[in-house]
Structure 1
């Protein structure tokens, strides 16, 4: 009898499990077929969504306020920086105007119509450059008809590349700084150091292996440092002053240890010339 009741309880348990699994399957199937959840679940979802919106609204508001304040501060700082730059530009403009007026007055007092820095730019095109004399010279399409004369400086880009060595009516021959002959590159230059002092000298040659200009005949003991600017001095009466030659890369002494020797990195790319500018210096006259 006990065995019978035990087997009966086991059968009931199994039947209950089967019925439960069946109901669960039917419930899942019905839920999947419904496009909307039950009313109770909808109500719960609505409540949760409302709470989320209520909580999110002040958070988003605070976040937006912080962002707006940050943007306002950045705009204010940028505005102050721009105002400072405008003031600096205005001051520079006024300073330049004052210097121009002062220069004009000094010219009148000295009865000068031009200075060493006055020149007219004549643009020209390189029409010939032979492989055999690639480092020595080029030929341009402007000559005496355009006011070009011998020994006038020739520039390309931001720096000096050479000087006029021969002038014809419609073309000219340009002797480059890279010309290594002893008779080439003899013109006056000066170095301006960081303290504003100047050192005069002469371009004496060109090191083609290092692509460097050599400057000699320096008698001043003023300190010269790497990075100092080298420009034409205007001395000699032919070349205008203030034409950039290059920057100092090294200093030393000559073979006799008597004068300083300076190595200069050219400001212009001498190996690649298509267009050049001849600086025609205006005459210095007196009234």
Structure 2
């Protein structure tokens, strides 16, 4: 008994033999002329058409496969190039924003009679009870405890601790901070106190004083820490109670501490 595999091999051999015969006949004559040739051609033609169709189908599959592989590789290369382009664009935008901030620093420091040190914010206290930041400049750069820290928008705080290369800055929003200030328009004096929140309070302003929302609060210079006339913020809300001697004034700081990246540390000129 012949096995199934042997039968399949014999059939394939027969098909190949038929195809070879037809190809031989076709090469000798444009069309079959004898009766035997015509019969052979009629029998083999379907098989030859099937083989040719199979070959064309297989070629199509392989061509599609290789094109898909090439497309996938090209897509990967394009994605890598796109990633590099986006990285360069993001870096450019960051440098442009940093350049704009530094230009503000240059314009701001040109009007002051103090030397200064530019520093970057490298850390901030995550605790909700304390408002402090760390900067990348310290004693080696001429910083010491008590140096005022600010940006072009206004006062940031003051240095409370300084090591060789780093310093800790107490923000004006911290509950332990106090800045001697005054209302720019009416010259009413008071103390700007932090509350460990987003805003500050202008305290010790007598109830008789006319203070309105929107008025600007600046440093008075009387605390011997911050130069006179630096912006602290603006009056956000005023409350007057008959039972109290002083007004309760909420101040919105001019500095957005959540977006603080660079600062200026001032040293008084000798």
What is the TM-score when the length of structure 1 is the normalising length?
Answer: 0.50
Is the 8 Å Cα contact of residues 173 and 193 (structure 2) preserved in structure 1? no
Among candidates 262, 271, 276, match of residue 263 of structure 2: 276
Give the 3-state SS of the residue equivalent to 1:145 in structure 2. Answer: helix
Aligned to 2:118: 123
8 Å CA contact 1:227–1:249 kept in 2: the answer is: yes
Deviation at 1:234, TM superposition (A): 0.6
Q: Alpha-carbon deviation of 1:252?
A: 2.3
Residue in 1 aligned with 2:179? 187
Residues 1:241 and 2:228 aligned together: yes
Equivalent position SS for 1:240: coil
Corresponding position of 1:203: 192
Structure 1 CA distance for aligned equivalents of residues 243 and 167 of structure 2 = 38
- Which of 146, 151, 156 aligns to 1:161? It is 156
Tell me the residue number matched to 2:238: 251
Gaps of 5+ in 2: 1-111
- CA–CA separation in structure 1 for the residues paired with 2:242 and 2:193: 14
CA distance in 1: counterparts of 2:207 and 2:256, whole angstroms: 29
- Answer yes or no: is the 8 Å Cα contact 1:161–1:268 preserved in 2: yes
Cα distance in 1 for partners of 2:146, 2:220 equals 14
**Map of 1:13 onto structure 2:** none
Give distance in 1, aligned partners of 2:136 and 2:218: 26
For the residues of structure 1 that align with 2:134 and 2:240, how far apart are their CA atoms? 35
Segments of 4+ in structure 1 off by > 3 A? 132-135, 219-222, 253-256
How much is the aligned-residue C-alpha RMSD, in angstroms? 2.5
Q: Taking structure 2 as the reference length, what is the TM-score of the superposition?
A: 0.53
Match of 1:173 among 165, 168, 181: 168
Cα offset, 1:207, TM superposition: 5.9
Retained in 2: the 8 A contact 1:250–1:262?
yes
**Residue by residue, what CA displacement relative to the aligned partner does 1:195-230 show, whole Å, maximum 9, x if unpaired?**
xx301111222362xx22111022484311111111
Distance 2:113 2:177 in 1: 22
Is 1:261 equivalent to 2:248 in the alignment?
yes
Aligned counterparts, 1:21-40, within 5 A = none
Structure 1 residue 169, shift from structure 2 partner: 2.3
Q: Quote the Cα distance in structure 1 between the aligned partners of 2:129 and 2:196.
A: 15
Contact 1:121 1:279 in 2 (8 A): yes
Q: Does 1:223 align with 2:219?
A: no
Higher relative contact order (CA 8 A, sep 6+): 1
